[in-house]
Amino acid sequence: MTDSFNITTARENFPALKQDQVYLDNAGGSQVLQSVITSITDYFSNNNVQLGASYKIGQISNTKYNDGYKAAAQYINANPGEIVLGSSTTQLFVNLAQTLKFSEGDEIVLSKMEHETNVKAWHHMAERLKLIIKWWESPKPELKLTPENLKPLLSPKTKFVACTHVSNIIGTIHDVASIAKTVHEAGALFCVDGVSYAPHRQVDVKAFGVDFYAFSWYKVYGPHISVLYASTEAQKHMRPMPHYFNPTTTLEDKIGFAGSNYEATQCIPRIVEYLGGTNPKPVFEAISEHEGKLSKILLDFLNSRDDITVHGNTSADSNERVPTISFTIEGRNSKEFVQEVDKVSNIGLRWGHFYSKRLCDEVLGLGPEAVIRASAVHYNTEEEMRALVEVLKKLLS
Ligand SMILES: Cc1ncc(COP(=O)(O)O)c(C=O)c1O
């Protein structure tokens, strides 16, 4: 796919995009590649047997499953022993939290800029192990997590820090590589939620230098399955939880819990192929450039209005943000406004806090209906964004 990746024809790979619907709820979940749909249909039609068998079809199934694992690991620049696939990022973090070894009184730093997925697991862990939680945030208007605003929270007792790579509300890209250095200088482990980053940019866990990283393929053009990375070094801080007679070598051995469904695992090579296979760089360069154009169309309009507040970075620069754009309109209720959009157009927006409730309530200071969110990915078109602007203009006139 690499050499031929063409942003203008990319949408032809997604059957759902033939419908009369503009999908701007991609931060909730993306549409699925035809190659993935075909792969899952084929698997169920021909290979749906219990893994581990030595008979002919069993062997083919084993290979397909293992190829899925290998492709997922290679895609994020990890070793197969450093990843585990499971039902959701939320579940994988909960599983990880069950195994991490800390001592009473150790400190952990959690951010308030998160989807609750990257808080709940660690919050429960802190209660169970009697750890001290320190809260990390960056106030308005910057709303950017940095080594500078993290440093005052670190102490010799800090053992774990968690934050998001990109917020599912504000779309800002946090520089996790530089944050990782700061966390490691303090002697702590660093866990990153990559769910809102992975649909837009190349994931390279070694380049990021993180200890734990997770995202969900249902937002990356595939089915409901997620991947968690834990470096070999970081795995030394885990207490494995397999059946007593099973091995404890790989991350899958340690916290797999048979949680990775076969048909979804085995289709991962199809997603990786679409995103450039072993050479994803040109694909993501094209995606990043196109996404910048999409952001600019919407942000130029939103920024031009005195009655609209864009939450987070108001720049369309693809180095700074992904096209997940949230805003509120003075005197208008976010829920009712989205319902008005539904009535007059085929554009699918969303309203709410999107499980980033601490961010919406405590950092942004919003009411229960929180934000209006338009979240694009590379298969959205400039025409779609212009159509959205026209609808907004109409409803605001
Ligand atoms: C930033 C972010 N993190 C985590 C999640 C949860 O992912 P999952 O549904 O795989 O648990 C979401 C889902 O919307 C998200 O947007």
- DSSP of 369-393: TBEEEEE--TTS-HHHHHHHHHHHH
Instruction: Please check the confidence at residue 4 and state whether its pLDDT lies above 70.
Output: no
Q: How far is CA 148 from the centre of its chain?
A: 24
Report CA(156)–ligand 1 centroid distance (Å). 31
Give the model confidence (pLDDT) of 80-99 as tens digits.
999 999 999 999 999 999 99
Report CA(213)–ligand 1 centroid distance (Å). 13
pLDDT at 2: 45
Q: How far is CA 107 from CA 87, 215, 235, in A?
A: 29, 25, 19
Mutation pick for ligand 1 pocket among 215, 355, 373 (CB with most ligand atoms within 8 Å): 355
Domain residue ranges in the chain: 7-32+280-396, 42-275
pLDDT at 373: 98
Give the model confidence (pLDDT) of 125-136 as tens digits.
999 999 999 999
* Average model confidence (pLDDT) across the chain: 97
Instruction: Please check the confidence at residue 3 and state whether its pLDDT lies above 60.
Output: no
Give the model confidence (pLDDT) of 159-201 as tens digits.
999 999 999 999 999 999 999 999 999 999 999 999 999 999 9
Report CA(24)–ligand 1 centroid distance (Å). 17
| The CATH number of domain 42-275 is 3.40.640.10 | yes
Strands 158-164, 132-136: pairing kind? unpaired
Domain spanning 7-32+280-396: CATH superfamily: Aspartate Aminotransferase, domain 1 (3.90.1150.10)
Give the model confidence (pLDDT) of 14-46 as tens digits.
999 999 999 999 999 999 999 999 999 999 999
Question: For 2-7, what is the mean pLDDT?
Answer: 69
pLDDT at 305: 98
Q: How confident is the model at residue 258 (pLDDT cuts 50, 70, 90)?
A: confident
Question: Are both 7-32+280-396 and 42-275 of the same fold?
Answer: no
d(CA 12, CA 261): 27
Tell me the HSE value of 359 on the side-chain side, using a 13 A CA sphere: 31
Q: Which residues line ligand 1 (CB under 6 A)?
A: 27, 88-90, 115, 117, 164, 168, 193, 195-196, 216, 226
Report CA(90)–ligand 1 centroid distance (Å). 7
Helix (H) / strand (E) element for 207: namely helix 205-208
Residue with tokens 């009697």: 130
Mutation pick for ligand 1 pocket among 196, 324, 357, 371 (CB with most ligand atoms within 8 Å): 196
Q: Which amino acid is at 105?
A: G
Closest CA to 195 of 347, 10, 79, 354: 354
Atom of ligand 1 nearest to the CA of 193: 3
d(CA 210, CA 104): 24
Per the CB < 8 A criterion, the answer to whether 22 and 298 are in contact is: no
pLDDT at 44: 98
Per the CB < 8 A criterion, the answer to whether 373 and 325 are in contact is: yes
Count helices and strands in the chain by DSSP H and E runs: 14, 13
d(CA 171, CA 324): 5
Percentage of the chain lying above the pLDDT 90 cut: 97
Give the model confidence (pLDDT) of 134-148 as tens digits.
999 999 999 999 999
Atom of ligand 1 nearest to the CA of 27: 16
Q: How far is CA 140 from the centre of its chain?
A: 23
